Structure 1
């Protein structure tokens, strides 16, 4: 079985870990958001790709939820002393090694897809990790403070600077990578991870060519809700939803994505058991929906969520 997952960082990583356990014989491809990417202190930083890679490699910092385990920050201290970079966005020494290696590969002419493959080859990830595009599409946030890179809004202001809209700079000139397009077109199942619907999944789907690939895919497309009981378990996705006028509600996010039968994205929507009351409204949108436990704790629970998503995909197959 060929499974393709559209994913952001932490939530996407936890779901990918569960899927790898749930479907050990499947060929899994994770197509990742690159809207958080940036150039910082002269190096190319790809937060979502790195969160996915570190988690799947078993070297991520599970306590902080980002970066490498066992980090040191000597280089970050030196950069701060020179007044270089963002003092509120710390690059750990091990993490910086990843960014230096990526930057060297890109400077030598590799695409981001090729550079990601080279980095990922260091570890037995059990999945193929792909950026959705090789083009740069940094997410900017239009705020009362001015236009900020998404990471500045997210990390420095903790999403407290009043935001008016999100803009993927350069998206109109970007295109889906050939590898990402093939992963969607040739999949037996496409899963939308419980990642931020606005700046992770929204950015992925906003890359020219992605929506067309999903619309024409032979595989069923099933999403896993990032909402549990009207709340987002991790991160500040509720704030992002508020910016675009979507309630933090499982049915509202389903309507935001839309049913593929009505020109949207999804053939099925898996919601948390706490949101079972939304099932009738979701099904009225034209997509099958089921309610199951969705808390992505490591090990068995995350794997069971993945199994439930695959089961819904089998039932929703066009």
Structure 2
């Protein structure tokens, strides 16, 4: 499919599906996946990296296909015991999943970076592509509501996305250093394309773009940047994207998301249910089946997206 390098940017469930498709389409040594860590938090003394773990489990074939997060074939004895002891149970930790969090926390406390911990875990789980946490420093998505600011997991899990979103900020972004390997790739003439997976732009991709040096490097990147829209027919396949756009006063349209990314993207991918709307997008557009129901559809979409973006001239698409 490609002899050059590919950099994918993604968050959790939706992004991980396309990342998996890319992983079976692109040689492992040519694919790097930069993952959102704005959702990371400490829970019960453990460092939890929800999006990184979703990508690791999905690419290693261990994901829970029913829940869409966590590990398959999971048991919940630890979680049940927490409840018996009267401790916090709003964030569910499965028994198999717990082992990964314990090991990550142990290594982080011994001074190992999040990037190195993740690389070691990926190797142990048999994941070939490089999985790059977006930063080794703390960078947290904060959801501002009428009742006050909430950490992302408090909003997303504890409150079930119910509070009205008034604004989103990304604490620590100005000081956080992006993944050095991702920055190196963006400056590498061997990079053939950047693929923004169908992750929530405001919750999964925006924390990356909030780091000034990463946003600047992406803007200057000579390889074409393609974004796969997470909106299908004016709604999100999964998650609170449509709700957040409505509450922020943004039209739930493809053009609204294109304008949000601005000149950072060179081309756009929409689902075939948005064919009519695609005609009004001022970028090269691929219309495809973007809803991925199984591994075959993930690989098929990945191949289509790569063929599309690699047909564009280096330095960006048409305006």
> Do the two structures share a fold, i.e. TM-score over 0.5?
yes
CA distance in 1, matches of 2:92, 2:110: 26
The within-5 A match list for 1:29-48 is: 29-48=32-51
Q: 2:286 aligns with which of 286, 290, 303?
A: 290
Moved over 6 A (4+): none
Which residue in 2 is equivalent to 1:270? Answer: 269
CA distance in 2, matches of 1:233, 1:143: 24
Asked if 2 retains the 8 angstrom alpha-carbon contact of 1:270 and 1:312, the reply is no
1:241 Cα deviation from its structure 2 partner: 2.1
1:132 Cα deviation from its structure 2 partner: 0.8
Which residue in 2 is equivalent to 1:134? Answer: 136
CA distance in 2, matches of 1:248, 1:100: 40
1:78 Cα deviation from its structure 2 partner: 2.9
Q: 1:185 aligns with which of 187, 208, 214?
A: 187
1:255 Cα deviation from its structure 2 partner: 1.5
Which stretch shifts more, 5-14 or 171-180?
Answer: 171-180
Asked if 1 retains the 8 angstrom alpha-carbon contact of 2:39 and 2:153, the reply is yes
How far does the alpha carbon of each residue in 1:39-60 deviate from its partner, in whole angstroms, 9 at most, with x for none?
Answer: 0000100000000000101111
Q: 1:152 aligns with which of 154, 165, 186?
A: 154
1:22 Cα deviation from its structure 2 partner: 2.6
Asked if 2 retains the 8 angstrom alpha-carbon contact of 1:35 and 1:203, the reply is yes
CA distance in 1, matches of 2:292, 2:269: 13
CA RMSD of aligned residues (A): 1.5
Which residue in 2 is equivalent to 1:8? Answer: 11
CA distance in 1, matches of 2:146, 2:276: 37
Which residue in 2 is equivalent to 1:261? Answer: none
1:257 Cα deviation from its structure 2 partner: 0.9
Task: Give structure 2 stretches of 5+ with no counterpart.
Answer: none
Q: Find the residue that maps to 2:276 and give its secondary structure.
A: helix
Which residue in 2 is equivalent to 1:213? Answer: 217
1:300 Cα deviation from its structure 2 partner: 2.3
Q: Find the residue that maps to 1:23 and give its secondary structure.
A: coil
Q: 1:231 aligns with which of 218, 235, 254?
A: 235
Asked if 2 retains the 8 angstrom alpha-carbon contact of 1:164 and 1:243, the reply is yes
| Distance verdict in 2 for CA 1:6–1:104, change over 3 Å | same
Which residue in 1 is equivalent to 2:75? Answer: 72
Task: Give structure 1 stretches of 5+ with no counterpart.
Answer: 259-263
Asked if 1 retains the 8 angstrom alpha-carbon contact of 2:165 and 2:248, the reply is no
Asked if 1 retains the 8 angstrom alpha-carbon contact of 2:28 and 2:128, the reply is no
CA distance in 2, matches of 1:114, 1:139: 23
Which residue in 2 is equivalent to 1:309? Answer: 305
Asked if 2 retains the 8 angstrom alpha-carbon contact of 1:18 and 1:298, the reply is no
1:34 Cα deviation from its structure 2 partner: 0.5
The within-5 A match list for 1:242-257 is: 242-257=246-261
Q: 2:170 aligns with which of 154, 158, 168?
A: 168
What is the aligned residue count? 309
Q: Find the residue that maps to 1:190 and give its secondary structure.
A: strand
1:199 Cα deviation from its structure 2 partner: 0.6
CA distance in 2, matches of 1:21, 1:297: 16
| Distance verdict in 2 for CA 1:254–1:92, change over 3 Å | same
> TM-score scaled by structure 1?
0.93
1:31 Cα deviation from its structure 2 partner: 0.2
1:135 Cα deviation from its structure 2 partner: 0.8
Asked if 2 retains the 8 angstrom alpha-carbon contact of 1:199 and 1:240, the reply is no
Asked if 2 retains the 8 angstrom alpha-carbon contact of 1:184 and 1:214, the reply is yes
| Distance verdict in 2 for CA 1:207–1:88, change over 3 Å | same
